Amino acid sequence: QDGNAGVESKTAATPIQMVDMFHSAFGAHPARAVHAKGIILEGSFTPAPEARRLTRAPHLQGGTLPIVVRFSDFTGIPDIPDTVGASRPRGMAIKFQLPGTGSTDIIAHSFNGFPTATTDEFRSLLLAIGAAGSGNAAPLQQFLATHPVAKTFLTTQKPLTTSWATLSYFGVNAFKFTNQAGQVRFVRYQLIPDAGEQFLTKAQAATADPNYLQAELKQRVAAQPITFKLYAQLAEKGDVIENPSVAWPDSRKRVLLGTLSISRLAPNTVAEDKALFFNPNNVPAGINVADPMLVDRARTYPISVGERQ
């Protein structure tokens, strides 16, 4: 199906300009335009009974399904140290194998919100970060002075996490769920670790290895499965659907969609990395994109995938 289902982009920038905005900010790395450093794992997903009251999406009706999960650091820098500020927010991307054929994806990060309301503003921010990197700080200063949410995003990321497995992740952009009876709800995804959120102490952070997250995750998953709960946060009347920079209140009802059990490392070969392709509009019947930023994202991710072939 057409996951965009009538939602139109409101963006002036072309998809190629959107990929180039990341290269301008982070350098012209061909791996992934953003969230370049990461690790791939495998496991399974078991939907919760409440999920099918919200959507008729096939992976949320019952029965355990295989998943592939990629945890990542922010920026397009493939060897960014896990210890620097720019490595946050961290990313979590999930590919669910649908019953029969096909797949669906959820792509989330570890901040409940986004620095800008629109894609064009996000591009201005990234171009300003690029200019600052080349010695011209004025555009970034001006952007942050006029966009307080972006300033909050850049300055209030959580402390260094103990593990990619001890962070909560947020889908940020809204989707539309439709159930068997045709009832519609707008939702945002949340992924909450069963281990709870855990952070390094200042002393641990001061001595953490630049690649500590990969080493930690390998050890953790060899000992026992990593589990997360997947929730849909439900919009109420008046909640903004089209602006990911505004988080919905924590008081909004959350419905449990299911449990992820991540049980083993994937091969993590170059071939696997090249072939693994997440897209936020890879959605089955019963789910549609609702925030037009998702349409922009859907057009941009394949260009970055093409660059790493």
Give the binding site for ligand HEM (CB under 6 A): 18-19, 32-35, 38, 70, 72, 91, 93, 107-109, 114, 119, 122, 171-173, 244, 277-278, 293, 296-297, 300-301, 304-305
Q: Specify the residue for token string 């990969």.
A: 214
When the beta carbons of 164 and 177 are compared against ligand HEM, the nearer one is: 164
Indicate if 109 belongs to the active site: no
Please give the structure tokens belonging to residue 193: 């670790």
When the beta carbons of 169 and 212 are compared against ligand HEM, the nearer one is: 169
| Separation between Cα atoms, residue 303 and residue 309, nearest integer Å | 10
| Separation between Cα atoms, residue 18 and residue 6, nearest integer Å | 21
Task: Give the dihedral sign, CA 73/164/111/256.
Answer: positive
Please give the structure tokens belonging to residue 276: 């693994």
Q: How far is the CB of 2 from ligand HEM (least distance, A)?
A: 19
Say which of 23, 29, 35, 109 is annotated catalytic.
35
49 to 60, 146, 254, 256, 257: CA distances (angstroms): 8, 45, 14, 8, 8
Instruction: Compute, in degrees rounded to 10, the torsion defined by CA atoms 130, 133, 138, 140.
Output: 50
Give the N- to C-terminal CA distance of the chain in Å, as an integer: 26
When the beta carbons of 55 and 190 are compared against ligand HEM, the nearer one is: 190
Q: How far is the CB of 294 from ligand HEM (least distance, A)?
A: 8
| Separation between Cα atoms, residue 166 and residue 45, nearest integer Å | 18
The residues assigned a catalytic role are: 35
